Chains A and B, each alone.
Chain A
Amino acid sequence: MVRRATAFLIVGALLMALASMVGAQSQFTLPGIPNPKVATFPPEVGKYGGTYVVSSISDPRTFNPIIVQDTASGAVTNVMFDGLVEQDYITGEIEPGLAESWTVSSNGRTWVFTLRQGLVWSDGTPLTVDDVVFSIQAIFTPGVDNSFRSLLTFSGQQVTWRKLDARRIQFTTPTSLCPVGLFLRFIGFPIVPKHKLADVLARSGAEFSRTWGVNVDPKTMVGSGPFLLQSFTPGQRVIMLKNQKYWQVDKRGQRLPYLVRYIIVTVPNQDAARLQFLAKQIDAYGARGREFAELKGLEKQGDFTIYDGPETFTREFIVFNQNPRGVRAPKLSWFSDVKFRIALAHAIDQNTMSRQVLAGRATTSTSDISAGNKLYYDASLQPYPYDLNRAQQLLAEAGYRKGADGFLRDAQGNVVEFTIVTNAGNQDREAYGNIVRQDFVKLGIRATFVTESFPSLVGKLTGTYNWEAIIIGFTGGIEHGTARNLWLTTGDLHMWNPNQTTPATQWEAEVDRVFEQYACEPDQAKRKALMTQFQQVVYRNLPMLYFPYQKTQPALRNTIGNVKLGLQGATGTLGTRYYKGPYRP
């Protein structure tokens, strides 16, 4: 659940921050659009036609792109609505989108975006700066609950905007702050049509949030992306149709997309998705680690290829409560003892986890940043080796000794005991929990492992603070420094000791400084240095003990063209996807 929520929001990479002029004049034109975007990743020129079918485990919850919070809805709205800028799915770089170019002032605070000329919504209405202004107004309207608002609010101050002319809009970040290093990452919010939604927004924010819900009549919607919603049948499928007025072309200047229809089938579970993929009812499948070898053997028979994809950005870990408002002595003193945590890090058997849970399709972790994040991952860090003797020795050095009865006791003679909790129903985490518990028990710790419902677990984590050790996971983005709510000591998700008024420890204060500098830093190389510093601080202090990073293993039918692996196992873009051979109509 957690991993879905924001991946699409905060993904991204290299930032052409102070570039003064971006976006070259294209050599092609479309009727009415003198400068269409030439898709950046089309190694092959495709053929028109065909229906591409994928699956999703949940139904979309809304078709209103501003309020989207979950992946299933994002899978539809991201295809239907474009933003000023978009992200290259392979490198994570920010590229021109609806805006063909932008400029930034020398102090890094004023940004001017120029829209492509001749853009239209799918109903033929011109897409102008008025739509951009309308979209950002919607984002800041009370009652419209959305994730873009926090991204465009800096230390409590909103970004301001002004329409310059029909094609240009200016954004200004608050002047009391440093320049916003990641501004281009935050400005990719979806643009929604003013001519369709102005009336509802005028009524109220709550009304706006309820517009274009899953009960919408698709005929009343318009879009700017490659595909448009044609129909939604709850519990069954979303059907999307090609947008004849899309603004991107291939390298021969032919209008994209190639495909006629894009269908997302709702399946009850992963196993059903797999069966339907093998039965050729769907064309793509995101396999689990343990299915990799088996599917590899079925490639020929099923006419598909399964790819050895990179690691996801999702990290899974065990965290100990260091919050005086949540645990008391002596547990508090164990958990806040860095020697204790490092000793336990030697008891985390990542190899067994990888082998038993992920069939070896995983990479040993060293920090909060996944090896799949090529931009910021610090490959110089070595994982703490799994070595129970070493762990026992480190514990002894820190004053925790194993008695004759086999129980570990701290210097005051208290038996070390705690409960590890994770959310029920997540099989991977349940397996991790059992492996961790067994190793802790071998050290003489009286560890118990229990599961409880997800809402209840989160209630403890962010509300009552009444927990000892929790196994959970977070999604990540390529710009890791946006995880401020997790790493700043003032953060609500700073799980081990949230909402601090002053940093409790030296190293937490250092992480605070790193994250503040990162937010202001427009230079990619300097941001990389800051993230390296961050990973090293985390490595030495280990507020969380990390589990292996899962690899992705996307499987795709061989008849599909323009396939290349990208970040987190993406296999291509919908705009350039096509059928090399026969296809379903």
Chain B
Amino acid sequence: MIRYIARRIMNMIPLLVGVSLVSFLVVQLSPGDFLAEIRLNPVVDAATVDRMRENLGLDKPLYIQYVKWLASILRLDFGYSFAYQVPVWWLINSRLLNTLLLSIVSLVIAWLIAIPIGIHAATRQYSWSDNTLSFVSYIGISTPTFFSGLLLLYVAFVTGWFPIGGMTSLEFDDMSTVGKVLDVARHLVIPASVLAFLTVAGLMRQMRANLLEVLRQDYVKTARAKGLAERVVINRHAVRNAINPLITIFGFELGGLLGGAAILESVVGWPGLGQLILDSVLRKDLYVVMGSLMLGTVTLVVGNLVADVLLAASDPRIRYD
């Protein structure tokens, strides 16, 4: 197992180099550069723009810029942002925890809800509760997060039950620790429920379908024929077998922890990575784009690795060595 994990991590290296090279070229070769905004300023002359280009290192040939970046990333130095003139890592780090908080909270909520109701729906197929859940989950799958986010913001505005966007209140700095936790929790309600709703809808459908599949298998009949309690049949035998595809999904979701909420973050003003990455792509703030892409790639690969390891742990039939 350990050899397998090591091999997978080794495989990441060429992958990361490939991803970085392609994205570097895509950003650099697409028309326009970071200085577009300043170029359109009628009081700034061309000499100033040229000087800035030089200071940012954008005048060097592409391969030199890339090799320089690669050399520094090996030392875990992500470089400086053009727009902010602060280290890229500081920018990412200032928002990383916020994004993780939102993603993890909604992930946990979603899984805690989706699995039981998926099981419930499968064991009572075509009952009124199954039909209702299916209907609700279709709504969940087909509603884009920006829409449900806006809708809930409007509800918050009309009712005053929740803050309208953001992550903390103006008075946050003066609050006690408990007050701070509660304040963030209040702000989390809207974005976390939007994300959780979407995930629950998808997961619950998956769980239901898998479990229905398994319930038709002979060994379930055998178990029932042995006279096992229905609860044991479902939880011990059926669910255990039905859960494998969900673990793979879980891996993907781990990979989406950083970028998965980007659109919603922009809608509800959650100070996460989404807005930062979007702005840097639009503005062509090269090293911020590169840094966040690298981070995204690593989490995606690691997420899949975690899923594969979990699969092996949950299903004795799967062995990698």
Contact = CB atoms under 8 A, between A and B. Distances in A.
B64 interface: no
A215 B90 contact: yes
B23 interface: no
A343 B264 CA distance: 47
A138 to B, nearest CB: 14
Interface in A209-264: 209-210, 213-215, 231, 233-237, 239, 263
Interface residues of B, number: 59
B85 A459 contact: no
Contacts of B98: 235
A268 interface: yes
A493 B39 CA distance: 8
A455 B166 contact: no
Interface in B144-169: 153-154, 157, 160, 163-168
A279 B42 contact: no
B48 interface: yes
B11 to A, nearest CB: 34
Contacts of A143: 55
Contacts of A453: 30-32, 282
Contact of B83 (A9, A61, A454): A61
A281 B52 CA distance: 39
A105 to B, nearest CB: 26
B195 to A, nearest CB: 16
Contact of A236 (B160, B167, B265, B279): B167
Nearest to B169: A281
A53 B171 CA distance: 12
A275 B31 contact: no
B43 A482 contact: yes
B86 A215 contact: yes
A265 B276 CA distance: 16
- Please report whether the interface of chain A is mostly helix, strand, loop or mixed according to DSSP: mixed
A281 B42 contact: no
Interface string A37-69: 000000000000001010000100110100101
A460 interface: yes
B166 A265 contact: yes
A231 B265 CA distance: 22
Contacts of B52: 145
Interface stretch (B110-118, B135-143, B237-245, B266-274): B266-274
A198 interface: no
A210 B80 contact: yes
B94 A236 contact: no
Interface string B78-101: 001001111100110011001000
B250 to A, nearest CB: 28
A491 B80 CA distance: 31
A455 B32 contact: yes
Contact of A69 (B36, B38, B275): B38
Contacts of B279: 58
A486 B85 contact: no
A214 B48 contact: no
A168 interface: no
A559 interface: no
Interface in B253-267: 265-267
A142 B268 CA distance: 42
Given A145-B52, A460-B31, A485-B45, A266 B84 contact: no
A9 B43 contact: yes
Contact of B38 (A5, A10, A235, A456): A5
B153 A275 contact: yes
Given A213-B85, A214-B84, A206 B170 contact: no
Contact of B32 (A150, A457, A499): A457
Contacts of A269: 266
A484 B90 CA distance: 38
B44 interface: yes
Contacts of A51: 170
Interface in A496-545: 499
B205 interface: no
Interface in B166-210: 166-168, 170, 173
Given A62-B84, A477-B43, A234 B271 contact: yes
B40 interface: yes
A278 B165 CA distance: 14
A276 B164 contact: yes
Contacts of A415: none
Contact of A456 (B32, B83, B154, B270): B32
A489 B5 CA distance: 64
A281 B164 contact: yes
Nearest to A55: B269
B41 A5 contact: yes
B49 to A, nearest CB: 8
Contact of A213 (B33, B44, B86): B86
A145 B164 contact: no
Contacts of B44: 6, 147, 150, 485
B300 to A, nearest CB: 23
B79 to A, nearest CB: 12
Contacts of A151: 43
Contacts of B30: 453, 455-456
A215 to B, nearest CB: 5
Nearest to A455: B32
Contacts of A560: none
Contacts of A1: 37
Contacts of B39: 458, 461-462, 492-493
A278 B157 contact: yes
Contacts of A461: 39-40
B46 A492 contact: yes
Contact of A472 (B40, B49, B275, B282): B40
Given A279-B157, A459-B31, A460-B31, A234 B42 contact: no
B168 A233 contact: yes
Contacts of A276: 164-165
B31 A455 contact: yes
Given A61-B84, A279-B157, A2 B41 contact: yes
Nearest to A493: B42
B221 interface: no
B41 A235 contact: no
A474 interface: yes
A210 B37 CA distance: 20
A268 B43 CA distance: 29
Contacts of B271: 233-236, 266
Contacts of A278: 157
30 contacts: A5-B37, A5-B41, A6-B41, A6-B42, A10-B43, A64-B85, A143-B55, A150-B44, A206-B55, A213-B85, A215-B86, A215-B94, A234-B95, A235-B98, A236-B166, A263-B170, A268-B165, A268-B265, A268-B266, A272-B164, A275-B154, A275-B157, A276-B165, A279-B157, A455-B32, A455-B34, A455-B284, A475-B41, A484-B42, A492-B39
Interface of B: 30-34, 36-49, 51-52, 55, 80, 83-87, 90-91, 94-95, 98, 153-154, 157, 160, 163-168, 170, 173, 265-272, 275-276, 279, 282-284
Interface of A: 1-2, 5-6, 9-10, 51, 53, 58, 61-62, 64, 67, 69, 142-143, 145, 147, 149-151, 206, 209-210, 213-215, 231, 233-237, 239, 263, 265-269, 272, 275-276, 278-279, 281, 453-462, 472, 474-477, 482-486, 491-493, 499, 584
- Ordered nearest first, which 8 A-B pairs have the shortest CB separation? A235-B271, A455-B32, A458-B36, A456-B31, A492-B46, A459-B32, A213-B86, A483-B42
